[in-house]
Structure formats: C-alpha cells, structure tokens
Amino acid sequence: MQNNTKLSIVIPVYNEKNTIDEIIRRVQSVEFEKEIIIVDDCSNDGTRDRINKISGNNIKKLFHEKNKGKGAALRTGFQHVSGDIVIIQDADLEYNPKEYSNLIEPILDGRADAVYGSRFLGGPHRVLFFWHYVGNKILTTLSNMLTNLTLTDMETCYKVFKADIIKNINIRSNRFGFEPEITAKLAKRKCVIYELPVSYSGRDYTEGKKIGWKDGVVALYSILRYNLFN
C-alpha cells in the first residue's frame, strides 16, 4: 500500500449535534483518498438532521433505528468499508484527524497490522479526571496481562487497522466493550500492533462526555470474557 492507499474513516455518532459538522470538516481536510462512514446510533438531539444535511461524494450515512452502542455502530460501519486502511474516529473533537498520517505509517511501510494512538506516550493533552486515568490504567494493565501485550492505552479511540483484518473479525460487543474485545482478538490472531503518541483534547461531562463507571465494569467483564472464555 503506497500513495494510492484509500482510508475508510468510521465515525460512530450519538447525540453530537454541536460537533458533527466540525469533525467532518476536519476529516475532509486530511489529504488522503478517503471515504467517511458516519453511523448515527439513533441520536435524539437533532444530530440526525445535521447528518442529513452533510454533503460529499465520499460520505456514507448509516442510521440505527434503535440505540445500540458504540460497538454496534462500529460493527455496522465496518460492513461498509471499501478502503485499504480503517480508522476509528469519534465525533466529539477529542482526537485530531491531522494525526492520521503518523498513525497509518507503520501499516503503510509494512511493519504493523494495527496501530493504537496512545494518550499517555507524551502527546499534548488536556488535564482532566484523575480517576478516569487510574481506571484506564487498571483496565489496560489487566488487558495486557491476559493478551501479553505492552499497550499504554487500550481504551483509546484511535485504532487503525488493515481493512482485510478488521473486516474478518467478528465483533460481538455492542457498547464500550469493543475496546478490550478487539484488543483480545488482535492478540489471539498474533497481529503486529504498534502504538504511537497522539494529542488529546478531552471533554468534561458538562461538554457532553458520556463514558462512566458502568462502562468500566463492562470493559472489565469484556477483558475476562474475550481473553479467557471466547
């Protein structure tokens, strides 16, 4: 894969009416051949109306009629991928599409099957919640113990894959259990994973952040399930 590589950017969306237009603008500004796959997970705040107004020949719009969760939205998006490399992009502006070129480099030069963008490897980031940081470290460490990997940020949004790999992995998690599930399944397939630093402009709850302690419990369950019993 060289300069003619096509990116498939999968964007799961739920109630992001204030950011959806801007994230699409930022993704479109990245100078790669690409398709943008927007999966609206039954938003109820007007996001769907904004998505319907977005135009572009390289945009695919998919809509869930029932809220199912991020994992389910990604599963839907992966089924419509036609590019060579798949990038997961959240719609909340916490992650910067300008970093795509760095993230895909280990795949382009043949070193990696997947790349994780770590918020904890030295990139600039907004200072926010201590206990979220601790929870992330606990989940990442437990995941590493069972996968025998040395990731620093298993829960990161920025995950990049060779398309033929991600399209052939059966994703079962409907919500935030996707992160440990895909990590476990990549490890079991002996995929080569690279990790690179990324910047992170995190939100607080007044700005629309959705993940909470219950999602941490689901992630813990998923780590055990997909490493030990599946």
Cα angle for residues 109, 111, 114 (degrees, 5° grid): 105
Q: Hunting for tokens 């991600």 — which residue is that?
A: 166
Distance of CA 38 to the CA centre of its chain: 13
> What are the residues facing 60 on neighbouring strands?
37
What is the spatial distance between Cα 69 and Cα 177, in angstroms, rounded to a whole number?
A: 10
What is the spatial distance between Cα 30 and Cα 101, in angstroms, rounded to a whole number?
A: 9
* pLDDT recorded at residue 104: 98
**Tokens at 114, concatenated:** 């997947």
* pLDDT recorded at residue 133: 78
What is the spatial distance between Cα 43 and Cα 47, in angstroms, rounded to a whole number?
A: 6
* pLDDT recorded at residue 134: 85
Average pLDDT over residues 182-199: 97
> What proportion of the chain, given as a percentage, has pLDDT over 70?
90
For the cut 50, the answer to whether the pLDDT of residue 179 exceeds it is: yes
> What are the residues facing 155 on neighbouring strands?
none
Residue 18: is it exposed, middle or buried by C-beta count within 10 angstroms (0-12/13-18/19+)? Answer: middle
> What are the residues facing 36 on neighbouring strands?
9, 59
* pLDDT recorded at residue 123: 66
User: What is the tens place of the pLDDT at every residue in 55-96?
Assistant: 999 999 999 999 999 999 999 999 999 999 999 999 999 999
For the cut 50, the answer to whether the pLDDT of residue 205 exceeds it is: no
What pTM does this model have? 0.91
Domains observed in the chain: 6-229 (3.90.550.10)
User: What is the tens place of the pLDDT at every residue in 27-60?
Assistant: 999 999 999 999 999 999 999 999 999 999 999 9
User: What is the tens place of the pLDDT at every residue in 98-110?
Assistant: 999 999 999 999 9
Residue 195: is it exposed, middle or buried by C-beta count within 10 angstroms (0-12/13-18/19+)? Answer: buried
* pLDDT recorded at residue 65: 96
Average pLDDT over residues 173-183: 94
> What are the percentages of helix, strand and coil residues in the chain, rounded to 5?
40, 20, 45
User: What is the tens place of the pLDDT at every residue in 121-172?
Assistant: 876 666 566 777 788 899 999 999 999 999 999 999 999 999 999 999 999 9
Angle formed by the axes of helices 213-224 and 130-147, to 10°?
A: 10
